[in-house]
Structure 1
């Protein structure tokens, strides 16, 4: 599968097997654990994603509030948990094909 220009970062509230599934599909993704950000403030994680141009995948509504407050970000995929993990992986993979880093910047997508 072709590698997308979009890179992802999974918040600590996203199950680890989501990262494994994305990596199997060839997606470039990091996790909060990978980059040693566990327990840091949300604004620090959002800044990490912005500075590394990684779209944040989360189910933590605090990130939505930060976005609403005007914090710049590389994009947010918010998992509503109405869909299962397998569907979340497919949704993220599809986002990687359909969006560009420029188009998704400061945008919130719901999965």
Structure 2
């Protein structure tokens, strides 16, 4: 397993967040790029588990789903409208800098 977190951004996340994370050298995929647009939350969860990517989402359905399992690669959650794009980017960069993929397994991080 890589020693750095790799992120996957859910469908409703602004594309500028992916662009800015990539500009900082962070490995990011998006729902649209992965061909998962309009797919179910279960399909999204299966993708992050297969790819071992921490999901960044603003969809609280994933919080419920995460409570039912403890082996997902991690979820970073931010309630829509509660943080600016800049604050979200800063929080994800900080998570990338201080957390390992192993530390994120089964964990939900609230931004």
Q: TM-score category by the smaller chain?
A: over 0.9
The answer on 1:18 being equivalent to 2:23 is no
Cα distance in 1 between the residues matched to 2:72 and 2:44: 10
Task: Write out aligned runs for 1:5-44 (5 A).
Answer: 5-44=4-43
Cα distance in 2 between the residues matched to 1:69 and 1:60: 16
Q: Structure 1: which 5+ runs fail to align? A: none
Q: Structure 2: which 5+ runs fail to align? A: none
Aligned residues: 108
Task: Note if contact 2:70-2:105 (Cα within 8 Å) is conserved in structure 1.
Answer: no
Normalising to structure 1: TM-score of the pair? 0.92
Cα distance in 2 between the residues matched to 1:72 and 1:38: 24
Counterpart for residue 83 of structure 2: 83
Normalising to structure 2: TM-score of the pair? 0.92
